Amino acid sequence: MRSTNIIILAIAALLVGCQNSTGQAPNKTIALDMNAGSDTMNQYDHSKNPHYSHTDTSKLDLPLSEWKKLLPEELYYVAFEKGTERAFTGKFWDFDGVGTYACAACGNVLFQADAKFASSCGWPSFYQPERKNSVAYHDDNSFGMVRTEVTCGRCGAHLGHIFDDGPPPTGQRYCINSVSLEFLGTK
Ligand code: FE
């Protein structure tokens, strides 16, 4: 019983800490180290994902069972179970490469690096998406907070949340999980 209480207190402390320092509270937090054992910005072999495209903007409405078959476990967890990678562990939070970011699940172009800014929150942050319908927005009242969830406008993958404490010109901060992104470089 005592150990159960300790676990509950630890989880509560984690949630409060994340909310206060970043505004990006976890839905479910897992420790993802996307740098581990990887020498590429791609997370998996896209040739096995027939829906992956940087040019096809038609909407995808696939069953979760299909995504589960196509995606690496950690990507499926964040994208379709609304997980959140631990702050300062993703490969892009302090990455400043020049180029384009796409949805790791479907390839939809989401952000340009020139809209990325240095944020202390521990997740890659952008002040605007690639185009208006690159992303979609949803009310998220989980964990007793009022937030706006950001998903991929094509496949519906969970990306992160948007906050109004970003820099000019938009004043918005798209706080995005690294694991939901792939960096395409310049094209
Ligand atoms: Fe997508």
Per-residue pLDDT tens digits for 20-31? 334 445 444 444
How far apart are the CA of 53 and the centre of ligand 1, in A?
9
Q: What is the mean pLDDT of each run of 10 residues along the chain (187 residues)?
A: 43 34 45 39 84 96 97 96 93 94 97 95 96 96 95 98 97 97 86
Measure 11 CA to ligand 1 centroid, in angstroms.
Answer: 30
**Distance in angstroms (rounded) separating the CA atoms of residues 137 and 117:** 21
**Model pLDDT, residue 41:** 64
Q: How far is the CA of 155 from the centre of ligand 1 (A)?
A: 4
Neighbours of 27 (CB within 10 A): 17
Distance (Å) from CA 157 to ligand 1 centroid? 5
Distance of CA 61 from the midpoint of ligand 1 (Å): 10
DSSP β-bridge partners for residue 113: none
**What's the 134 CA to ligand 1 centre distance in angstroms?**
9
- pLDDT of 34 reads 38
What fold, for 2-185? Answer: 2.170.150
Residue ranges per structural domain of the chain: 2-185
Structure confidence at residue 44 (pLDDT): 86
Please identify every residue annotated as catalytic: 175
- Asked whether the beta carbons of 21 and 48 are under 8 A apart, the reply is no
pTM of the model: 0.80
Query: How many CB atoms lie under 10 A from the CB of residue 142?
Result: 13
Per the CB < 8 A criterion, the answer to whether 155 and 105 are in contact is yes
pLDDT confidence of residue 140: 96
pLDDT at 187: 59
Name the phi and psi angles at 77, rounded to 5.
-60, -45
